[in-house]
């Protein structure tokens, strides 16, 4: 049962990731990436990473991708700027073959490895537990991240101004 759910969300993540690479229209790629982020968030929830699953949707799908879509709309790409020439047939065949060999190799390597997840209690991955870590052991990186975000804000505003 859990394996089926994993395959559903994992397959969705891979299919939409392929969509990001394959679509000609950047808006289609952006929306495909949003769905991929939702699928990865579901995988996080399956891994008992409750805090991260919500953060993934809030920050990645809700902020970063909105930023991407705004920029695509702002640049107003249309017509031939959107179009790129597609891939020739032999390219697709070679890519599929390589992917099959790569996957086969990976699965073969992992065949004798039993990575069964141990049982986690219900405080694992909650906001409280991760927050406790963030404010005690990883306090310095946490504060430095806030400085980093400030730098990013200032840099973004300066870079995108029409006249300095």
Partner 1 sequence: MATLQHYLVLSALLFTIGIAGLVIRRNVLIIFMSVELLLNAANLVFVAFARYRLNLDGHVAAFFVIAVAAAEAAIGLAIVIAVFRNRGTVKVDELDWMKN
Return the residues of window 111-150 that contact partner 1 according to CB under 8 A.
Answer: 113-118, 120, 124-125, 129-130, 133-134, 138, 141, 145, 148-149
Other beta carbons less than 10 A from residue 147's beta carbon: 9
User: Which of 89, 107 has the CB closer to partner 1?
Assistant: 107
User: Which of 89, 160 has the CB closer to partner 1?
Assistant: 160
Q: The tokens of 10 are what?
A: 């994992």
DSSP-assigned letter for residue 52 = H
Q: Is 33 in the site for partner 1 (CB under 8 A)?
A: yes
Angle, helices 26-46 vs 2-22, to 10°: value is 160
Q: Is 38 in the site for partner 1 (CB under 8 A)?
A: no
User: Could you give the CA distance from residue 1 to residue 134 in angstroms, rounded to a whole number?
Assistant: 34
Q: Is 54 in the site for partner 1 (CB under 8 A)?
A: no
Interface with partner 1: number of residues (CB under 8 A): 75
């Amino acid at each position: 049962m859990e394996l089926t759910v994993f395959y559903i969300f994992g397959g969705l993540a891979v299919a939409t990731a392929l969509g990001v690479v394959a679509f000609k229209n950047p808006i289609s790629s952006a929306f495909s990436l949003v769905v991929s982020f939702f699928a990865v968030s579901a995988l996080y929830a399956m891994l008992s990473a409750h805090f991260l699953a919500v953060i993934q949707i809030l920050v990645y799908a809700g902020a970063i991708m909105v930023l991407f879509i705004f920029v695509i709309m702002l640049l107003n790409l249309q017509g031939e700027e959107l179009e790129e020439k597609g891939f020739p047939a032999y390219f697709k065949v070679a890519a599929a073959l390589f992917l099959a060999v790569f996957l086969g190799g990976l699965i073969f390597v992992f065949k004798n490895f039993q990575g069964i997840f141990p049982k986690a209690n219900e405080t694992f991955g909650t906001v409280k537990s991760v927050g406790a870590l963030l404010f005690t052991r990883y306090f310095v990186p946490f504060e430095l991240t806030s400085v980093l975000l400030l730098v990013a804000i200032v840099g973004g505003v300066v870079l995108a101004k029409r006249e300095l």
